[in-house]
Amino acid sequence: MKGFKVKQLKNILSPQDLNNLSDAELQNLAGELRDRILETVSKNGGHLASNLGVVETTLAIHRVFNNPEDQIVFDVGHQCYAHKLLTGRQQEFDTLRQWNGISGFTNRKESQKDAFGAGHSGTSISAALGLAMANQLDGKNNYVIAIVGDGSFTNGMIYEALNNCNKKNLRLIIILNDNEMSISENVGGLSNYLSKIRNSQNYFNLKHQTQSFLHKIPLVGDGLVEGTRKLKKHIKKRVVAENFFEHLGLDYLGPVDGCDLKKLESVLSEAKSKTNCCLVHIHTVKGKGYLHAEEHPEMYHSSGPFDLQKGIPKKASENSFSAIFGKIMVETANTNDSICAITAAMTGGTGLDQFSQTHPERFYDVGIAEEHAVTFAAGLSANGKTPVCAIYSTFVQRVYDQLIHDAAIQKLPLIMALDRCGLVPGDGITHQGIYDCSYLSTIPGIEIFSPETDAEMKQSFKQCFENKKLAVIRYPKGAEQPYDRSGFIDDGDLSYQDFIEVDNDPDQPEMVIITYGRITRNVYEAIQLLAANNRIRLIKLVKVYPLNIPKIISLMGQPKLVYVLEEGIRSGGIGEKLAAAFAQTEDFKPGKVRIRAIENPLMEHGDLSALYECCGFLPQQIADEIVGILGNK
């Protein structure tokens, strides 16, 4: 991006400072906002394309409305960067997504100008409706504005909320940000419908041209404008049929160019005059102002740090767990025509790009509709298919009911491929994949696998395809971590390694450490830090539920300490399940059982090292805790 001669952003300390800016100054400010967003995201990572697309929209909202008295709710919350820069957070913006820095999403703790926190899709209209109804009950005349991407309109919760928005005298304005993208390209009938609306602007353009002409007529112009409003319905019926939103009882304005400040301000001002809930349909360009993001918006939806000049390399990592999963799916589907893949608007993120191209007739991107995805997969299973549903761990929280009601109760085989499990750097509190083992293990008949290596991942999928049960295979973002695994002895659903002096009895370890998944490397490195005379056996679980307690106990002897470490929440986790099982086994009496897990599940954002340190998961922290438990000096 080119620099601007006049710097406006440093003078914007609150949204009210926007009101006296000229058109030229506002355009300069839009450029500065894009520059600052680009500079920060290229260093810290974050959501880029969506934020570049809503710069002018954000400026228009803050000029027409009075925030925080008028409350702004962002769906998902990831497109709020310009909002943060305009609402007193310029100095902290360089800390975006960093430990103890500002969040990449709206956050009520961070500012009163963030009316409602978010991180998952589809919540905005429900929340905004609640805020607006509370205002109405309190006799307040403030507005509530919900900004919703068209991708979120594939989420069922949006329609549940819209169905309740037909209240009179409700000061609620919904801005439908139509950029033809969610994360992957939008799909389905709603996407096609919005495309038709975008191409049917005759009515909207005619209305504004007529009003502009009549206002210019001396003396009688304003009266003529009022008179023409009485003809509005008749004219509209002649030009374009009543649309879906109007059938729900909402007023509808648009489509309008969301990057045209003057036009958008005019339309938002008109929306304020409505007595009903009003939906303003805008059209924006994802990635606007940064050519790489405009050409490949899906790559810049959420990125790590990158070179601003070169952009993100087009070739994704071939070694990530997501990529390995994609290869497994393609290879298996090549010889098994019952394999089907389902995802929820995350084709690229889950590694299913190649599958979607190789087996398009068996690939289903259902949009941001996780609940539908799982029940749809259960339907495929009921008619003999082998569905694999790939969703990020944080979003699987939404499908607990479907997994019980539609899969488990009916004993339908279904494989859930859970990406981004464990601690997730950057995105923070709403995206941590730390709950799944705890709540999914309560589902009757489910099997949960947590492979640490590519080989374990391939074996886990092979076993699940063969067993035909309700199963979960969970894995973190990133790739297999390198360290010396040559000492591990494979024993089916688990493996183990001894760190014992040659002349000591390997069947009587002084200490047994049990863990699973990515955190195993930290445990391994912690063992290297412990005194050489500690007799230690490390057990790494691959199948973490149901637990094979007899096998695990057979490998433990009678140790002084059993130390369980897991990268998940403690409450209801695998550690607590192991501790409960040990306590109920009469002939197994270890000296102590200790669990190191995530005690405070509301983990904020930061890099992985900072998150590990907060949880006590760094190798030195693990070693120090074990030494303290054993009473070593």
- First CA to last CA across the chain, in angstroms? 59
CA angle 484, 304, 459 (to 5 degrees): 40
User: In 3D, which of 384, 410, 298, 405 has the Cα closest to residue 349?
Assistant: 298
Helix (H/G/I), strand (E/B), else coil: 205: helix
Active site residue 420: no
- CB within 8 Å of 278: residues ≥ 6 apart: 172, 173, 174, 250, 251, 252, 253, 271
- Three-state helix/strand/coil letters over 23-41: HHHHHHHHHHHHHHHHHHH
Euclidean distance between CA atoms 144 and 165, whole angstroms: 12
Euclidean distance between CA atoms 389 and 592, whole angstroms: 40
CB 225 within 8 A of CB 232: no
Helix (H/G/I), strand (E/B), else coil: 164: coil
Quote the radius of gyration of the chain (alpha carbons, Å): 28
Euclidean distance between CA atoms 515 and 220, whole angstroms: 80
Tell me the HSE value of 341 on the side-chain side, using a 13 A CA sphere: 34
Tell me the HSE value of 107 on the side-chain side, using a 13 A CA sphere: 19
Q: Given 56, 180, 298, 370, which residue is catalytic?
A: 370
Per-state percent for the chain, helix, strand, coil, to nearest 5: 45, 15, 40
Helix (H/G/I), strand (E/B), else coil: 131: helix
Euclidean distance between CA atoms 32 and 12, whole angstroms: 12
Q: Interhelix angle for 23-44 vs 55-64, to 10°?
A: 130
User: What does residue 605 show for φ and ψ, rounded to 5 degrees?
Assistant: -90, 160
Q: Given 97, 398, 474, 477, which residue is catalytic?
A: 398
Number of C-beta neighbours around residue 476 at 10 A:
26
Q: Is the peptide bond before 15 cis (omega within 30 degrees of 0)?
A: no
Euclidean distance between CA atoms 360 and 40, whole angstroms: 38
Euclidean distance between CA atoms 65 and 115, whole angstroms: 14
Euclidean distance between CA atoms 370 and 576, whole angstroms: 29
Tokens of 203: 């009515």
Number of C-beta neighbours around residue 184 at 10 A:
23
CB 355 within 8 A of CB 332: no
Active site residue 466: no
CB 468 within 8 A of CB 534: no
Q: Is the peptide bond before 68 cis (omega within 30 degrees of 0)?
A: yes
User: In 3D, which of 344, 545, 573, 570 has the Cα closest to residue 460?
Assistant: 545
Euclidean distance between CA atoms 241 and 210, whole angstroms: 19
- Beta strand 386-392 with 447-449 is unpaired
Euclidean distance between CA atoms 289 and 513, whole angstroms: 52
Active site residue 586: no
Q: Given 36, 84, 171, 286, which residue is catalytic?
A: 286
Task: Tell me which residues are annotated as active site.
Answer: 286, 370, 398
